[in-house]
Amino acid sequence: QVHLVESGGGLVQAGGSLRLSCVASGSIASINSMAWYRQSPGKQRELVAHITTGGATTYADSVKGRFTIARTGAKDTVYLQMNSLKPEDTAVYYCNAASLEWRMATLRSVDYWGQGTQVTVSS
């Protein structure tokens, strides 16, 4: 019921900047929070940044001070501004949306994922 599409990845020099975008469609009213994850070869997928409906944000220690996550009031688009990029930031970046859905008498969070966008930072 939620479809996510990422864009904005590419190849940049160390110290450069990129802005990733994620557009959500479908039952966007049910989205409770959105996040960016990344995965590089040989490593597990890791949380990069997270934002709630109320606007509260969290960041991985490795990107604090360099990356910024933002979300529109309509809950249909989330951005990740990446500055001072380093080679270790190279990864496939995935958009995530957590949607609240009823199961019997309980409300649970269901995760939806985009297809991923490649970010490569050269040294």
Helices (H), the chain: none
Q: 5 CB contacts (<8 Å, ≥6 apart)?
A: 22, 23, 25, 95, 114, 115
pLDDT at 56: 95
Instruction: Kindly give the confidence (pLDDT) of every residue in the chain, 123 residues in length, as a single tens digit, with 9 standing for 90 and above.
Output: 899 999 999 999 999 999 999 999 998 888 999 999 999 999 999 999 999 988 999 999 999 999 999 987 666 899 999 999 999 999 999 999 999 888 788 989 999 999 999 999 999
Q: Look at the block and give the residue holding tokens 């994620």.
A: 22
pLDDT at 101: 87
Q: Look at the block and give the residue holding tokens 């070869």.
A: 41
Nearest to 51 by CA among 85, 77, 27: 77
pLDDT at 74: 67
